[in-house]
Structure 1
Amino acid sequence: MKGKIINESTGEGIAGATITLSPTVGTSSDSLGNFSIPTTLPFPIQLKVNALGFRESFSILRNSQHINVYLEETDNLIETIEISRKRKYSNRNNPAVELIDQVIKHKAQNRLSGIDKIQFDQYNKIKFGFVNPRPIFKNNMGQIKFFFQNIDSTSFPGKELLTVYQEENLAKAYSQKNPANQKKIVYRQEKTEFDKRYVNNPNIESYINYLFQEVDVYDESIFIINKLLLSPIADNAKIYYKYYIIDTLVQDNKSYIKLAFEPRNPEDLLFRGTINISMDEHFAVKEARLKMDQQANLNWVNQLDINLNYQPHENGRLVLVKSQAKIIFGVGKSDAVFGERIAVNSKYDLQSEIPNTVFQGAPLEYKLEPDNQRYTDFKRPIALSSTELKTYQNVDSLNNTKAFKRLLSVGYLIGQGYHNLGAFELGPLEYAYSFNELEGNRIRLGGRTTDALSDKVYFEGYAAYGTKDETLKYFLRSAVSLNGSSVSTFPAHYLEGLIQSDVFEPGKGIGFKKGDSFFESFRSNKPFKFLETEAFRLRHVIEFGNHVSFTTGFTHQRRAAAGDLQLLSSAAPHSPIDPIVTSDAHVTFRWAPNEKFYYRNLTRSTIVEKYPVFTVQYNKGIPNFLDANYGFDALRAMVSKRLFMNQLGFADITLSGGKIWGTLPYPLLEMPNVKDEFDRHEVDFDLMRSMEFAADQFAKFSFIHQAQGYFFNKIPLFKRLKLREIWGTQLFYGQLSDRNNPYLSDEVVEFDKDENGTPYTQIIGKKPYWEASAGIDNILNVLRVEYVRRLNYTDLPNVNKDRIRVSLNLNF
């Protein structure tokens, strides 16, 4: 006898349903809801079906033909949990807690990561879109109203869904324990793609896949929508959860106990729901249903459901065969946006050897089959609905609609600051106008090429003019691919050259965006000392699939004092020195294991996850080459990492240091608080003045901890406001050798002075510079307020000892 158990609301198969014909004859449905059960019982036969979260069903079979059984969803199980809360809860002599102890004890042998070698097939489907779009969009959007009429009313009962982004992948997944390696090769893919002139489709794919990562109840915490929610079977889960036994089940002649759990403190980032646990020597999870608690300290999340189903492999181990995560975002009781991810795993192989060549290259690779065509109905374990199939066609039609193109153009200008002209785009808008003490009003016209010109050759540049100094500035950079692929596609391999003539704050590196946007014009520590800089640079960049990259290059710069800056010889205090000319070669090694990023052309932003980033750079100054008047050696190293601390939130740690050999004017030494355009892991200081310290050997440290409301959630009244704690500290320690100390050496440059004769630049003492901050995040869901305090060197002139920093911070 064969059949299928189907969700009446969605039409999808129900995994793990229990089907019984008699007390001794029964089975359970597979990951797609299918079942098969042999029987010699005479007809008619009564078929009983149970599934977690659904009403019990009875059917009378007249013959052995295929049968479909439709089950109605119910929330009664959650109500049972609520009733059990009425009695006093205790971990002592509690059989539910004893059972969880066994589950935790046996996690290592049950989770797949404990197996030496694994390979399996995986199907992924991700959807993202709007909930209950207003009727006005269906009837009053002119040429694009057809897009708003493709409504799905079955996936989320009682809600209408309009899918905007949809992605499907068929992949082969591999992992091994020793040495630890993971690999996924995607060989079929379909996804919606908007006009790439205005929409960075790879970034959308990266961001949505980042928010909706694969989940497993055996992980200590489940990462979803940029948050860590503690698993109900985490090692320390008993501290945060309460447990109740609510039912026993028999599936495939095996017994399971259904266990309910709920948070001890509903405001913490925890789940409530049920798990089914095998009653044998393994104590493995058969099924898990996780729901976000409505009181949890999360923003804009009205509903979060995760369903996980595990089925026995031929070796008896329970393996994850289906996971589904559904999220509805909104404000208050109003739903706005939804997201859904379904992953189906099949054809597990836990014994075969995996060739070492499989793990070469990036952990995620796309090797699409030649016949990978749009709308091809490849072998999906879950058939697409009619609205899902139409989503692909509608997005393609939308891209060809003039009204939609105009809408994207305006959105791109507002969001990215560029106006697309086809092969070239003007921008960024925020740099078109700014002002400073040297240039007065600065007008800048710039832009960059797009893929419409070429994805293997890239140009960007600008011309700028200051109304006060009446000087023209310019910048031009170009990159040419050396591997036949896009200059921005990872792993990249390209040759880059740039030329620039502009004014900079001392210590700031050359680049397209040099920190002088319109908004930077209003900062409190405005610069008034500048270096007129003329520079050119050649670089060779090569990246490898293991996220190791090497950059080699040569840079020539000529710097002259501008504004209030004076470069006077330490040997003759009233004698200006010649312009500072340097020619240096450099090599940079960078390793960022498992790094993911958003990118646009040559600009990349790392998606910060748990993996560290290591960088080592060596510079060699070549004297007398192209009139260079200084020789030096410089070595710098940096490591940064995000620590995920389960219920305590996360912390970002950065440590960097370096040493410079040679006799140099202080603008060529290390001056903290100056950011590099390409270094997004640098330590920044809030209360340190520009040019305040100089050193030729140094160390910097930063620690920023966001506790995500862990402490405030325990305080009455506070926890209702969903406030979150944030604190941090930054340190700088540096030393200046005698040869570079203008008070001891007559071969360098005097520290510049103010009108009172006080030097702007200082030599740091025996104690490191130290500042700290503490604040409250998530005020009204959007504001962060921090108090920043300078903890030492407060007696130096013209320094701020503290400040209040208010900023917008949007986060879930």
Structure 2
Amino acid sequence: MKRELNYLIRVIFSVLILLISVLTVNSQTRIQGKVIDSNTREAIIGATIKCEDNQVGISTDQKGRFSFEVDKPSREIVVTAIGYIPQRIVIDSVSSLIEVMLKQDNFHIEAVEINKKKKYTNRNPATELIDLVIRHKSQNKLKKKDSLYYEQYEKLKFGIVDPKSVFGTGTNNLSFFYNNVDRSVLEGKDVLSIYMQESLSDNYVQQNPSKTKKIIKVEEKTEFDAKYVNNSNIQSFMGYMFQPVDLYEESIYFINKQFLSPIAANAKTFYKYYVKDTIRTERDIYVRLLFEPRNPTDLLFKGELAISMDGRYAVKGAQMEIDEKANVSWVNDLKLRLSYFKDTSGVMLQDTTEVTVVFGRGSRDALFGYRLGVNHKYDLSHEVPSGIMGGAPTERMPQLRSFSPQDRPIRLLMAEEATYRNIDRLNNMPSARAIMAFGYLLSQGYYSLGKFELGPLEYVFHQNNIEGNRFRLGGRSTSAFSEKVYLEGYLAYGTRDQDLKYNFRTAVSLNGKNITTFPAHYIEGSVQHDIFEPGRGIGFLKGDSFFRSFRSNKPTKFFNTDAYRLGHLIEFGNHFSVSSTMTLQRRNPIGDLQLPLSSDSSQFLPSLHTSDLQFVLRWAPNEKFYYRNLSRNTIIENNPVFSLQYNKGLKGVLGGDYNYDALRFSFSQRLFMNQLGFGDLTLSAGKIWGTLPYPLLEMPNIQEQRDRHTISYERVNSMEFVADQFLKLGYDHRLNGFLLNKVPFIKRLKLRELFGARMFWGDLSAKNNPYLGNSVVYFDKNLHGETMTKVLGKNPYWEGYVGLDNILRVLRVQYYVRMTYKEAKEPVKDRFRLSLHFSF
């Protein structure tokens, strides 16, 4: 009985195998064969076999063999290989081995002599290979994986080259610095790290929707005396200047510039490529490509790539550096090294990134920067934990721990370990603190007293036509006073009007955290008594700096203003914020400013009282910034900023005389254009509903302190244009030498082109036009009896400029032109401006 049972099981098993075999044959077709050189009869490694009917393909192995299955029968395959003529093969039978013989296409990848004296041709084995690399970029790009996790270790160092030349060789109190020099960064040179930062993070990538997330869990960095140095700003600045490098992006953003990647879509337009040789390992074969810029003054690299020949055409390694003729200032050397490894599934994953930059001038090296990134513990099928992708792309764990030895994939050198101790020791040295205090006064304009600091220095003295000589003493609190309460204010006195002005502002945290850090949540209040130009907002820095004493068209019309403000701000982790503000202002015209009533020009409006409620919605995705106390400056990247503002005038509330509604929208973004540089675009539009005197309507901002979110006009008089519905446009472009780099002799100067334009267009409704309505005030006149303010017609106001940057590495010259409404006598239509401007 047992024997019969075993026999029955074997029969059933055999039948199942037969059925599976039949089903497999009927459902799939196997194509297999070998690709060889028609002359040498040697196997061709890395040849690509494609079955176009089935949209599948494969590459040959070390022995030139291939084998794959297709879902439906196919009668033709296409076989290609670098340096060979493509061939189409008709399949007569799938049961036998197909032998494909390819003929050489007058190129041979194994022995190519690199002779740059010969004329370069755009069609050669190297460019054919680059075409394949570019074609396969999307499937090899790390961020395109469906679900991915890896752990990343990063180390960033910045410091001095040859510290003994700076500190000397004597036995002074700084000898502990140059006794701990690092010789691993620059070959043959000693360097001293004065800033170092390490981090260990979990990184997640997902598609649908496409998102990345970096969560820093371990971090350690040098900390300078917080009285003089905002350590968070140093960290932000270093992270901005030395950003992570992704070769698969179109451009590599570094030291505030865009360098075109050698595998960008249009790379062949700017680079030359040469096949150097091949590298064979036990598992794979790689082709080494040399590349160099067609124009060495452009923002390009030169170096070497290693390309895999397994059909994926992924980058195995890259060594790149900038040409010594490149249009880059203050940088003597920049080197990048990237390496990748192939995982078990055949995907090439980046494991190491190393960036070294040397700053200096000529042959003199002064400073260095170094960034190392190591990616490991990859998981290509990792399921992203629920909810982890929300919030900002980069976040820190609430409780960051310090590094333990097992956290570092690469052990610290003794000199690197000493960096943390050296900075702590430096902070306790009186001489070092004196140097930092002087540097803080020059750079920020404040002198620190510990819990408070005096300044800014630039605003101590100012001169105008109303106050005469204006003297001001101001200051603000620091984190040593409180991290949850902020104070600032000033007292000012004019020798001509003999009036004491003042400002006091305070803010209190509502979330129990540091009031200055993101995301913030606080209430604030301020009281101010001062004089302001019409159209200028109240604030601690109100445009009366020392340097504005020398403006050519000094204003003669002001408002003597008393202002009271109460506000609330809350920021969210996705960089969305909501602010609400209640402002009371009582403005009295002084100087030459008069407000004659449109109903009776012999009568004058004595004052303007407003009670204003404001709401602002702001969204700045992925925004990074530098900050000091409540002041923030955006780190300009390619992320947009949106703002929507609504104002409501409340008549009869706390002395307000006007009812009105105002809606304003603004948008700004930096547009990166690879080799064509970048442009900064700002757009603003709005409308005001209500019957209002013209000083309460919209006017162009005149020579205000610039930031990326406001539009400032250079060739407009104060109060020259007014509107209650308006559109503003500002654009600034930096070509980074793209044109001048092609001009012989001129390109040696490393000049950079810049240009820009400003537009203001608006309309004034009949009820707010004093010559059409009788409920407002007439436009004021200048000393010659000419009306100062205009209502724009159908044509907008335009002004523009062209200029050159990087003159002698420190100067910028701009030529401003007023392009419309040229009938105005002031300001002068054309104007040159020379300014100091440092950039890489």
TM > 0.5: yes
CA offset at residue 718 of structure 1? 1.0
- Cα 1:423–1:379 change in 2 (3 A) is same
CA offset at residue 175 of structure 1? 1.9
Q: Distance in 1 between matches of 2:171 and 2:468?
A: 46
CA offset at residue 86 of structure 1? 1.5
Aligned equivalent of 2:269, options 236, 239, 254: 239
Q: Which amino acid aligns with 1:292?
A: I
Q: Distance in 1 between matches of 2:704 and 2:576?
A: 20
Aligned equivalent of 1:90, options 121, 125, 132: 121
Query: 1:336 and 2:366 equivalent?
Result: yes
Q: Distance in 2 between matches of 1:232 and 1:679?
A: 33
Q: Distance in 1 between matches of 2:707 and 2:317?
A: 44
C-alpha contact 1:126 1:168 (8 A) present in aligned 2: yes
Aligned to 1:276: 306
C-alpha contact 2:155 2:197 (8 A) present in aligned 1: yes
Q: Distance in 1 between matches of 2:707 and 2:119?
A: 54
Aligned to 2:554: 526
Aligned equivalent of 1:179, options 195, 205, 209: 209
- Cα 1:243–1:678 change in 2 (3 A) is closer
Q: Which moved more, 1:339-348 or 1:180-189?
A: 180-189
C-alpha contact 1:123 1:171 (8 A) present in aligned 2: yes
- Cα 1:566–1:141 change in 2 (3 A) is farther
Q: Which moved more, 1:467-476 or 1:788-797?
A: 788-797
C-alpha contact 1:257 1:277 (8 A) present in aligned 2: yes
Aligned to 1:323: 353
Deviation digits for residues 456-495 of structure 1 (CA, Å, limit 9, x no counterpart): 1100000111110000111111111111111111011111
Aligned equivalent of 1:694, options 722, 746, 752: 722
CA offset at residue 170 of structure 1? 0.5
Aligned equivalent of 1:426, options 454, 465, 478: 454
C-alpha contact 1:130 1:162 (8 A) present in aligned 2: yes
Query: 1:751 and 2:799 equivalent?
Result: no
Deviation digits for residues 48-90 of structure 1 (CA, Å, limit 9, x no counterpart): xxxxxxxxxxxxxxxxxxxxxxxxxxxxxxxx99953121100
Aligned to 2:809: 781
CA offset at residue 356 of structure 1? 3.7
Aligned equivalent of 1:740, options 768, 773, 782: 768
Aligned equivalent of 1:399, options 427, 451, 470: 427
- Cα 1:83–1:678 change in 2 (3 A) is closer
Q: Distance in 1 between matches of 2:575 and 2:326?
A: 36
- Cα 1:747–1:146 change in 2 (3 A) is same
Aligned to 1:591: 619
C-alpha contact 1:514 1:677 (8 A) present in aligned 2: no
Q: Which amino acid aligns with 1:102?
A: L
Q: Which amino acid aligns with 1:221?
A: S
Secondary structure of the equivalent of 1:626? Answer: coil
Secondary structure of the equivalent of 2:148? Answer: strand
CA offset at residue 378 of structure 1? 5.1
- Cα 1:81–1:203 change in 2 (3 A) is farther
Secondary structure of the equivalent of 1:367? Answer: strand
- Cα 1:598–1:82 change in 2 (3 A) is farther
Deviation digits for residues 553-596 of structure 1 (CA, Å, limit 9, x no counterpart): 11111111011111221111121213100011111011111100
C-alpha contact 1:509 1:677 (8 A) present in aligned 2: no
Query: 1:632 and 2:646 equivalent?
Result: no
Which structure 1 segments of 5+ residues have no match? Answer: 1-79
Q: Distance in 2 between matches of 1:510 and 1:554?
A: 13
Aligned to 1:295: 325
Map 1:402-551 onto structure 2 (within 5 A).
402-551=430-579
Q: Distance in 1 between matches of 2:560 and 2:315?
A: 66
Q: Which amino acid aligns with 2:273?
A: Y
Aligned equivalent of 2:294, options 264, 283, 292: 264
Q: Which moved more, 1:400-409 or 1:425-434?
A: 400-409
Aligned equivalent of 1:365, options 387, 395, 400: 395
Identity of aligned pairs, percent? 53
Q: Which amino acid aligns with 2:120?
A: Y
Aligned to 1:133: 163
- Cα 1:368–1:258 change in 2 (3 A) is farther
CA offset at residue 147 of structure 1? 2.3
Normalised by the length of structure 1, the TM-score is 0.88
CA offset at residue 713 of structure 1? 0.6
Q: Which moved more, 1:188-197 or 1:350-359?
A: 350-359
Q: Which moved more, 1:126-135 or 1:441-450?
A: 126-135
Query: 1:807 and 2:838 equivalent?
Result: no
Q: Distance in 2 between matches of 1:488 and 1:378?
A: 35
Q: Distance in 1 between matches of 2:792 and 2:178?
A: 63
Query: 1:206 and 2:236 equivalent?
Result: yes
Aligned equivalent of 2:226, options 196, 199, 202: 196
Secondary structure of the equivalent of 1:351? Answer: coil
C-alpha contact 2:706 2:712 (8 A) present in aligned 1: no
C-alpha contact 2:164 2:178 (8 A) present in aligned 1: no
Q: Which moved more, 1:146-155 or 1:170-179?
A: 146-155
Query: 1:669 and 2:700 equivalent?
Result: no
Q: Distance in 2 between matches of 1:786 and 1:289?
A: 39
Q: Distance in 2 between matches of 1:229 and 1:736?
A: 47
Aligned to 2:735: 707
C-alpha contact 1:323 1:344 (8 A) present in aligned 2: yes
- Number of residue-to-residue matches in the alignment: 731
CA offset at residue 438 of structure 1? 0.5
C-alpha contact 1:263 1:270 (8 A) present in aligned 2: yes
Q: Over aligned residue pairs, what C-alpha RMSD do you find?
A: 1.7
Deviation digits for residues 524-559 of structure 1 (CA, Å, limit 9, x no counterpart): 222111011111111110111111111111111111
Q: Distance in 2 between matches of 1:356 and 1:795?
A: 64
Deviation digits for residues 378-407 of structure 1 (CA, Å, limit 9, x no counterpart): 520111100000010010011111111112
- Cα 1:731–1:785 change in 2 (3 A) is same
Q: Which amino acid aligns with 1:768?
A: P
Secondary structure of the equivalent of 2:387? Answer: helix
Q: Distance in 2 between matches of 1:252 and 1:431?
A: 70
Higher CA-based Rg = 2
